[in-house]
């Protein structure tokens, strides 16, 4: 039981970070549920149909979804605000219906036979990605990304390659979501396209917004809280969606900036050479 909770929490932290990575460059993605689904099915096909080991299948899934994310992101990231929300929701919807209509992947009935993701793999990846995110927050790249997030025009005028960075971060986020999706599928053994619907994408964004968008701790805390709180007691489980909803409504009203809104200190810029 404990290991189930740990597994779920670890996966949700990874998925929350996949949204956070994209948000670093200023785009809020509701497509990560879809990328998670792509990764889950890609990894599943590679292990079940081709017989590869899981640890080789995960990079394949990540690469496939990352490339797809970059290709889709190039036009999609031209939109912003409410329009970007709608476009990324549309991507998730398209992924779900596309998987449903491919008989090779089991269609609506689902796809099974995977297995073998272990707790250490998930939490090892959490440690790895976490370390990378904290390392990133010490580099000048974080400042450039912050500039893009605050004002794209200013960032572009200061010489940042805005399009390249936004597309790259979108691709990286998609890849991370796909790897987490692969681990998800190989833990639950059997998945259906409905596991990756729009509501899942919305939940992932919620973890990030509730936790705070300015540092990697926020999404991790949001994902942990939202994974464990509903499991805390029997009553909460019976009323799970309502408790969830009331919690979100309340938290957003009390702390619209998230639970941990602080920023991490970035490294000092290098001294200009004389």
Partner 1 sequence: MLAEQLLNGVIVGGLYALVALGYTLVFGVLDKLNFAHPDIFMFGGYVAVASLVLGAPVWTTVIVVAAVTGVLGLLVELASFRRFTAPDAHITAALSSVAFGLIIVDLVQKQWGSEPLEVPLEGRSAAIVALGVRLAYVKLAALAATLVLLAVLYVVVRRTRFGRRMRAVADSPVSAALLGVNVRAVTQLVFFLASAVAGIAGMLRVTITGFATSEVGFTFGLKALAIMAIGGMGDLRGAVLGGVLVGVVEAVAFQIGLGQIADVAVWVLMIAVLLVRPAGLFGGRHQRETRA
What is the binding site for partner 1 (CB under 8 A)?
Answer: 28, 75-76, 78-83, 85-87, 89-91, 93-94, 97-98, 100-101, 197-199, 202, 205-206, 209, 239-242, 244-249, 252-253, 256
By beta-carbon proximity to partner 1, the closer residue of 4 and 151 is 151
By beta-carbon proximity to partner 1, the closer residue of 232 and 246 is 246
By beta-carbon proximity to partner 1, the closer residue of 189 and 246 is 246
Smallest separation (angstroms) from partner 1 to the CB of 242: 4
Query: For the chain, what is the radius of gyration of the CA atoms?
Result: 19
Smallest separation (angstroms) from partner 1 to the CB of 219: 14
Nearest Cα neighbor of 37 from 144, 111, 133, 87 is 111
Smallest separation (angstroms) from partner 1 to the CB of 204: 11
Residue with tokens 């912050």: 146
Smallest separation (angstroms) from partner 1 to the CB of 249: 5
By beta-carbon proximity to partner 1, the closer residue of 119 and 202 is 202
Residue with tokens 């490294």: 267
Are 131 and 17 contacting, i.e. CB atoms less than 8 angstroms apart?
no
- Here the tokens at position 204 are 């992932």
Smallest separation (angstroms) from partner 1 to the CB of 179: 25
By beta-carbon proximity to partner 1, the closer residue of 197 and 266 is 197
Nearest Cα neighbor of 54 from 125, 119, 129, 121 is 121
Smallest separation (angstroms) from partner 1 to the CB of 98: 7
2-20 exposure pattern, b = at least 16 Cβ within 10 A, e = fewer: eeeeebbbbbbbbbbbbbb
By beta-carbon proximity to partner 1, the closer residue of 252 and 259 is 252
- The torsion of the CA quartet 136, 32, 248, 235, rounded to 10 degrees, works out to -110
By beta-carbon proximity to partner 1, the closer residue of 89 and 162 is 89
Nearest Cα neighbor of 219 from 23, 26, 30, 70 is 23
Smallest separation (angstroms) from partner 1 to the CB of 267: 28
By beta-carbon proximity to partner 1, the closer residue of 51 and 256 is 256
Q: How far is CA 181 from CA 34, 135, 236, in A?
A: 9, 24, 27
Smallest separation (angstroms) from partner 1 to the CB of 238: 9
């Amino acid at each position: 039981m404990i290991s189930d909770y740990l597994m779920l929490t670890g996966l949700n932290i990874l998925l929350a970070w996949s949204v956070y990575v994209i948000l670093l460059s200023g785009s809020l993605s509701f497509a990560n549920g879809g990328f998670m689904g792509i990764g889950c099915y890609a990894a599943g096909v590679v292990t079940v149909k081709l017989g590869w080991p899981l640890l080789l299948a995960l990079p394949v899934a990540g690469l496939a979804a990352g490339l797809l994310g970059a290709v889709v992101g190039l036009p999609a990231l031209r939109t912003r605000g409410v329009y970007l929300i709608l476009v990324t929701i549309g991507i998730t919807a398209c992924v779900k219906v596309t998987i449903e209509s491919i008989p090779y992947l089991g269609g609506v009935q689902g796809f099974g036979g995977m297995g073998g993701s272990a707790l250490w793999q998930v939490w090892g990846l959490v440690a790895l990605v976490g370390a990378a995110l904290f390392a990133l927050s010490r580099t000048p790249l974080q400042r450039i990304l912050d500039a893009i997030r605050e004002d794209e025009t200013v960032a572009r005028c200061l010489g940042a390659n805005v399009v390249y960075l936004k597309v790259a971060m979108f691709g990286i986020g998609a890849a991370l979501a796909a790897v987490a999706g692969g681990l998800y599928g190989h833990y639950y053994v059997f998945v259906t396209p409905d596991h990756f619907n729009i509501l899942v994408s919305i939940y992932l964004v919620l973890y990030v917004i509730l936790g705070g968008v300015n540092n990697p701790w926020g999404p991790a805390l949001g994902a942990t809280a939202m994974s464990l709180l509903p499991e805390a007691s029997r009553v909460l489980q019976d009323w799970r969606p309502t408790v969830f909803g009331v919690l979100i409504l309340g938290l957003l009203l009390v702390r619209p900036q998230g639970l941990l809104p602080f920023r991490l200190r970035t490294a000092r810029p290098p001294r200009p050479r004389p």
